[in-house]
Amino acid sequence: MKDGLSRRQLLVRAGVIGCSVAASPLITPMSFAQAPWDRRLVVIILRGGMDGLDVVRPVGDPAYAPLRPGLRTEGAQDLDGYFALHPALAGLMPLWSKGELGFVHAVSTPYRDKRSHFDGQDLLEAGTVDLGQGARDGWLNRLLQEVPGVERDTAYAIGTTPLPVLDGSAPVAKWAPEANLKISPQTMRLAERVMEEDPALHAALAEAALLAENGRDGKGGRAHRQIASYAAGRLRQDARIAAFSLGGWDTHRAQDRVLPRSLATLQEAILTLRDGLGADVWGKTAILAMTEFGRTARENGAGGTDHGTGGLAILAGGAVRGGRVNGDWPGLAESALYQRRDLMPTRDVRAVAAWVMRGITGVNRDVLENKVFPGLHMGSDPGLLA
Amino acid sequence: MKTGTYYLVRKAGSGDDMGFSPHLAERRFGYGRSPSIAPPENIAGMLGRLRGKDLMAERFPVPGFRQLQDGHVVKARFDAFARKKATTPEQAAEAREKSDEIEQRFRHQQLETFAQQQLRRIHSKDNFRERLVDFWSDHFTAQGKSGLLKLAIPAYVEEAVRPHVSGRFVDMLSACITHPVMLEYLDQSTSVGPNSKRGRRKGNRRGLNENLARELLELHTLGVGAAYSQTDVRQMAELLTGLTRTRDYSFVFRKGWAEPGAETVLGKTYSDQPGMQPIRNALSDLAMHPSTARHLAGKLAVHFISDTPTERTIGRLTRTYLDSDGDLMAVYEALLNDPAAWDSPPTNIRPPLEYMSTALRALAVPPDRFAALTPKETLRWFLRPLKIMGQDWDRVSGPDGWPETDAAWVTPQGVAARLDWAMNVPARLLDDLPDPQQMLQDIVGPDATDALKFAASAAETQAVGVGLILISPALQRR
């Protein structure tokens, strides 16, 4: 379905699946209510622990080169004379120049010392200080719980990987473009008939038919492109938040071969979002990409890096005040490292997310510090959004 | 939901079992009907099979935890060699290759385990057991967090859960809480008493970890709403110190890690002798706590009857549990003899994995077909669709297990993925699909609505006819 189609036309099309449409939460009149705010937020969870030191390289730090003799591939893009961008993200340099790409270095969650992906990601998405506090929802959902006027299609969790960051009591739409309902219209009608006696299944099927139809903008392609283009389609309409995750960041060996592939995926996802959103909506959008932890400052014996602590957050979008590497840079001298092995985290990545959400939604600081991220001190405004 | 059909079938059941229906027995307490297996004749038959030998575990075996431990040890040696001891890059590369091979072999074994699990469900006459194993392994959710241990759920279930499903709850509780997979999952293996010998060691950075203690009270026994305090959690955590593992993931109790002194949990004080006995005593008391009885009764009723069971049912199961000293067979007997078990409309949606098993049982997929699957096919036809349906196999997202509410599973994405799967995979799996009309008789029986009969006959192809039956509410709900 083309984006130009009005909702009325969409409803007419949906008429194919008959009366169940009325029961679908996505297309009841409720969902046409005014969205609670106008700016868009995309959260990308980078699973596996991205090596922020390789992505935004502190080439001006005298300790950097000796720590990473094998990871200094040619072609890094100079950012500000001190930091340089990994060559695999060269395609994002035009965004950097326009102030639509920025970074926050040396950030992390409060997770320390055990360096397990599993716990690290749980904590990143729970947004709490530690695990086992009983929080079973994620911070993006808790944000939605605090905002009036949120509808089922205000926020989308996209893809087949669970996204605990959007789990919780606030309504959220979930869709994986892979679930694309490749069946004939005749079969669809029969399926609808079979489920007619069961209102909930019937409504879900009707909604699925709509979502799948909407998702065909994606024109196939690899999963991350489908996801990004699906997200863009929804964000151009009523959705205000989209979250998805990208894997492949666990680079214990041959990082010079593995990392560029993951970065290319991320770059493509960002550019697909930009193209799909169009200039107007892109101008109101902030993308925040975060990872569970950084990696060791020192390259290991297998041409990779191991699980570390301080990492990197990536910001992109027309709503971002980019062209800067933010954060308090701790340096890479051995005494400055965390446990003499990892980049020292100097800022809580949850504060980065909180300031971005504040800028996007206008939600009060005390709500962010007490409800969304219980116990967080946001600190002074780093001015991440334009 | 249409429910009238059951009343007709019920009359055909045994006179002793009020309301029992063979068809509903398979649908509600099993994985639905099979074309080649007769449903249980009565409640006594269901319980008798459950008391008897675990035939499916013998016929379709699953490797134990020891294998993974051994694999882990060998793999770790190759990794360490590659990282530290290799003198040439070639040597390092060779060691890494060997390490990768081990991992690959275990991954493939994991896929075979998926097949074994399905085959048990497809070919068992005792599917209540398979459902109970599923129920209890979710209750005691645990998974390895890294390396080969990520593949440890089947072994954990096979050793800690399965042998105890027809025994006493306290034995299952004890087996699960002390299994290395659980100790690792809920961070017990790093919990050290602050005043223990290890805790007082110079430069010690380890301390108490409350994770297992908290989930033990909140999820495994008393339930989140029960009357316990943070002090109880803390005391329980201190009591559990010492429960840990060796380097190769064998269970060990380390006296030197145990917090000295007596601990008081829920008003009862446990001996200050470091060792397993005070812990076992506490687990026994927790198992027989009235809140635990009620928590378990409620969960069983929700799982097997409806998302909103009546107080009468929960009360009856609670009393049976307490009166029988936590004998699970007695509780199941009470469950099966509860009128609600046969009167309630089948509204519970089957979670994705259970749904898939129901479909595979309806198709009676033979063992040799599973044996012939390549790893790629297993991923493409089963594990990936499961992920899209919302239940990534053996990757449960939290210690509270998979959601039980129907709303969690009846999502557009979930329903679309079930439909996609039902229309496409069976035809790839089987050369000869069943005839839809025959399938309606054999599988759906009294649940076949006019709409389903019409749709199955109007389908363009046999595959679509079969797919429509598989996605009918009669197979998706129980």
Least confidently predicted of A34-48, A72-86, A231-245: A34-48
Q: Which residue of chain A is at minimal alpha-carbon distance from B398? A: A136
pLDDT (mean) for B102-123: 97
Asked if A205 and B214 come within 8 Å (Cβ–Cβ), the reply is no
Which pLDDT score is estimated for A73? Answer: 80
Q: Are A316 and A92 in contact (CB under 8 A)?
A: yes
Per-residue confidence at B86, pLDDT binned at 50, 70, 90? confident
**Which of B92, B417, B473 is opposite residue A201, by nearest beta carbon?**
B473
pLDDT digits (tens, 9 = 90+) for B33-65: 999 999 999 999 999 999 999 999 999 999 999
Which pLDDT score is estimated for A29? Answer: 38
Which pLDDT score is estimated for A132? Answer: 67
In chain B, what percentage of residues exceed pLDDT 70? 96
pLDDT digits (tens, 9 = 90+) for A205-237: 998 888 777 655 444 567 899 999 999 999 999
Which pLDDT score is estimated for B146? Answer: 85
- B434 to chain A, any CB pair closer than 8 A? The answer is no
pLDDT at B169 over 90: yes
Per-residue confidence at B84, pLDDT binned at 50, 70, 90? confident
pLDDT at A326 over 70: yes
- A365 to chain B, any CB pair closer than 8 A? The answer is no
Least confidently predicted of A151-165, A170-184, A264-278, B6-20: B6-20
Distance from CA of B92 to the nearest CA of A (A): 8
In chain A, what percentage of residues exceed pLDDT 70? 88
Q: Which of the pair, B147 or B386, is modelled with greater confidence? A: B386
Which pLDDT score is estimated for A182? Answer: 78
**Which of B96, B410, B454 is opposite residue A204, by nearest beta carbon?**
B410
pLDDT at A18 over 80: no
Which pLDDT score is estimated for B17? Answer: 60
pLDDT at A31 over 80: no
pLDDT at B10 over 90: no
Which pLDDT score is estimated for B37? Answer: 97
pLDDT at A28 over 70: no
Which pLDDT score is estimated for B398? Answer: 86
Least confidently predicted of A73-77, A366-370, B152-156: A73-77
Contacts of B218 in chain A (CB under 8 A): 134
Which pLDDT score is estimated for A81? Answer: 96
Contacts of A302 in chain B (CB under 8 A): 82-83, 92, 96
Contacts of A210 in chain B (CB under 8 A): 412
- Please give the model's pTM, rounded to 2 decimal places: 0.87
Asked if A181 and B392 come within 8 Å (Cβ–Cβ), the reply is no
pLDDT at B159 over 90: yes
Closest CA to B157 of B121, B133, B186: B133
- A195 to chain B, any CB pair closer than 8 A? The answer is yes
- B392 to chain A, any CB pair closer than 8 A? The answer is yes
Query: Mind spelling out the 3-state secondary structure of chain B?
Result: CCCHHHHHHHCCCCCCCCCCCHHHHHHHHCCCCCCCCCCCCCHHHHHHHHHCCCHHHHHCCCCCHHHHHHHHHHHHHHHHHHHHHCCCHHHHHHHHHHHHHHHHHHHHHHHHHHHHHHHHHHHCCCHHHHHHHHHHHHHCCCCCCCHHHHHCHHHHHHHHHHHHCCCEHHHHHHHHHCCHHHHHHCCHHHCCCCCCCCCCCCCCCCCCCCHHHHHHHHHHCCCCCCCCCHHHHHHHHHHHCCEEECCCCCEEECHHHCCCCCEEECCEEECCCCCHHHHHHHHHHHHCCHHHHHHHHHHHHHHHCCCCCCHHHHHHHHHHHHHCCCEHHHHHHHHHCCHHHHHCCCCCECCHHHHHHHHHHHHCCCHHHHHCCCHHHHHHHHHHHHHHHCCCCCCCCCCCCCCCCHHHHCCHHHHHHHHHHHHHHHHHHCCCCCCHHHHHHHHHHHHCCHHHHHHHHHCCCHHHHHHHHHCCHHHHEC
Asked if B468 and A136 come within 8 Å (Cβ–Cβ), the reply is no
Which ranges in chain A belong to alpha helices (H)?
7-14, 52-55, 64-67, 93-97, 117-126, 139-145, 185-195, 199-215, 223-236, 255-282, 349-361, 365-367
Q: Which residue of chain A is at minimal alpha-carbon distance from B457? A: A190
Asked if B397 and A162 come within 8 Å (Cβ–Cβ), the reply is yes
- A184 to chain B, any CB pair closer than 8 A? The answer is yes
Contacts of A134 in chain B (CB under 8 A): 214, 218, 224
Which pLDDT score is estimated for A53? Answer: 98
pLDDT at B12 over 80: no
Which pLDDT score is estimated for B16? Answer: 52
Indicate the DSSP class of residue A295. Answer: B
Asked if B96 and A118 come within 8 Å (Cβ–Cβ), the reply is no
- A112 to chain B, any CB pair closer than 8 A? The answer is no
Query: Among residues 20-79 of chain A, which lie with CB inside 8 Å of chain B?
Result: 26
Asked if A194 and B452 come within 8 Å (Cβ–Cβ), the reply is yes
Distance from CA of B236 to the nearest CA of A (A): 14
**Which of B96, B215, B473 is opposite residue A302, by nearest beta carbon?**
B96
- A176 to chain B, any CB pair closer than 8 A? The answer is yes
pLDDT at A179 over 90: no
**Which of B83, B388, B476 is opposite residue A179, by nearest beta carbon?**
B388
ipTM over 0.95: no
Asked if B460 and A187 come within 8 Å (Cβ–Cβ), the reply is yes
Asked if B419 and A183 come within 8 Å (Cβ–Cβ), the reply is yes
Average pLDDT, rounded, for chain A: 88
Asked if A253 and B96 come within 8 Å (Cβ–Cβ), the reply is yes
pLDDT (mean) for B343-367: 97
**Which of B390, B410, B449 is opposite residue A200, by nearest beta carbon?**
B410
Asked if A301 and B471 come within 8 Å (Cβ–Cβ), the reply is no
HSE (side-chain half, CA atoms, 13 Å) at B18 = 9
pLDDT (mean) for A235-242: 94
Q: Which of the pair, A285 or A27, is modelled with greater confidence? A: A285
Q: Which residue of chain B is at minimal alpha-carbon distance from A119? A: B145
Which pLDDT score is estimated for A6? Answer: 40
**Which of B218, B415, B477 is opposite residue A204, by nearest beta carbon?**
B415
Average pLDDT, rounded, for chain B: 94
pLDDT digits (tens, 9 = 90+) for B288-303: 999 999 999 999 999 9
Least confidently predicted of A179-188, A249-258, B206-215, B369-378: A179-188
pLDDT at A318 over 80: yes
Size of interface A-B (CB pairs under 8 A): 144
Asked if B82 and A195 come within 8 Å (Cβ–Cβ), the reply is no
Q: Which residue of chain B is at minimal alpha-carbon distance from A131? A: B211
Distance from CA of B468 to the nearest CA of A (A): 6
